[in-house]
Chain A
């Protein structure tokens, strides 16, 4: 079987509709990491991300017979996950990204602190120091990009309410700053 998308997806949905668990499992395997990346790009905690992940697939279970274009089930999952992320952010009383892009505070430090007695090599200490000297905007962007696999610019744009076109250049600039800070140490 070819590796994903289009006709393949339509066939998987068709088989799931007829009750085939194996086809459903393949849908979960194929799109799981993308749904997860959407949740992480919205900077949800692990627990919230797992809730979003689960409710997204549960919604597909109830909608599988009615989704209009089965070949676009991947896009359907992403849209649903994004909607649930925004709902979770609002429900939690947390600030929702607004147009000034200034509302999201950074809840976690970019890197865990290096504690006394911890084995940290020079490179780690240097990275720590260098990150601390980046602008708030860069730290915020890097935090969202620090997800494996790296989220799409579209997802990052939604999470930080930045125009998609500005993410690539900002990413490049921030990493350049980081490298310059590292070299300066």
Chain B
């Protein structure tokens, strides 16, 4: 490196060297890490899940973020989620069962006859009892959203990772 190089030039040179060294490490580690084409395709087709006339029940409570809601924190405590829409609350507990998920929850106030669970495995319908409780088994781990009709209104929850 020549002596007459400006300070800025030296800095730029170091920076370029650093970048190259990191790139070499990435290459060696096999990390050329573009977004997997499957993930792009899935994100594009996510648009088809759009329901124009649905009311959104937003996530307002999450025991995995606020452990106080889950009681004792730690070993495989089920996740408790709360979703709120005007006049309707959906509470869901996510349990891990042999690699799949089981959702147990309640629609408050009761009134919906069924809840639809949308997940990677398709749409699973779960009947809702007279006090609003429901249970859905064999839900594929990954993004999940619940949907139910109460009266004339269609309500769907935010997507979450179950």
CB–CB B25/A142 < 8 A: yes
CB–CB B79/A111 < 8 A: no
Closest chain B CB from A83 CB (angstroms): 8
From B18, B29, B56, B141, give the contact of A171 (CB < 8 A): B18
Number of interface residues of B (CB under 8 A): 47
Q: Which of A59, A84, A179 has the most CB of B within 10 A?
A: A59
Residues of chain B within 8 A of A46, CB atoms compared: 36
State which size class the interface on A falls in: 35 or more
B interface SS class: mixed
How many interface contacts (CB-CB < 8 Å) are there between A and B? 130
CB–CB B161/A51 < 8 A: yes
Q: Does B30 contact A (CB under 8 A)?
A: yes
Given A25-B44, A111-B25, A127-B25: A148 touches B33 (CB 8 Å cut-off): yes
**Bound Cα distance A36, B46 (Å):** 16
* B-facing residues in A102-119 (Cβ within 8 Å): 110-112
**Bound Cα distance A88, B161 (Å):** 8
Residues of chain A within 8 A of B143, CB atoms compared: 51, 54-55, 58
Residues of chain B within 8 A of A142, CB atoms compared: 22, 25
Q: Does A62 contact B (CB under 8 A)?
A: yes
From A36, A51, A55, A146, give the contact of B35 (CB < 8 A): A36
Given A46-B36, A93-B74: A59 touches B24 (CB 8 Å cut-off): no
Given A87-B64, A146-B31: A175 touches B18 (CB 8 Å cut-off): yes
CB–CB B46/A145 < 8 A: no
Q: Does B116 contact A (CB under 8 A)?
A: no
Residues of chain A within 8 A of B42, CB atoms compared: 50, 53-54
Residues of chain B within 8 A of A21, CB atoms compared: 44, 47
Q: Does A78 contact B (CB under 8 A)?
A: no
Q: Does B62 contact A (CB under 8 A)?
A: yes
Q: Which residues from chain B sit less than 8 Å from chain A, CB to CB?
A: 14, 17-19, 21-26, 28-36, 38-40, 42-44, 46-47, 49-50, 52, 56, 62, 64-65, 74-76, 79, 141-143, 145, 156, 158-161
> What are 24 A-B pairs at a CB distance below 8 A?
A24-B44, A32-B39, A46-B36, A50-B36, A52-B161, A53-B42, A54-B42, A55-B159, A55-B161, A84-B161, A87-B64, A87-B65, A91-B64, A93-B75, A110-B29, A111-B25, A112-B29, A142-B25, A146-B26, A147-B26, A147-B33, A148-B33, A148-B34, A150-B22
Q: Which residues from chain A sit less than 8 Å from chain B, CB to CB?
A: 16, 19, 21, 24-25, 28-29, 32-33, 35-36, 40, 46, 50-55, 57-59, 61-64, 66, 84, 86-88, 90-91, 93, 110-112, 124, 127, 131, 142, 145-148, 150, 171-172, 175, 178-179
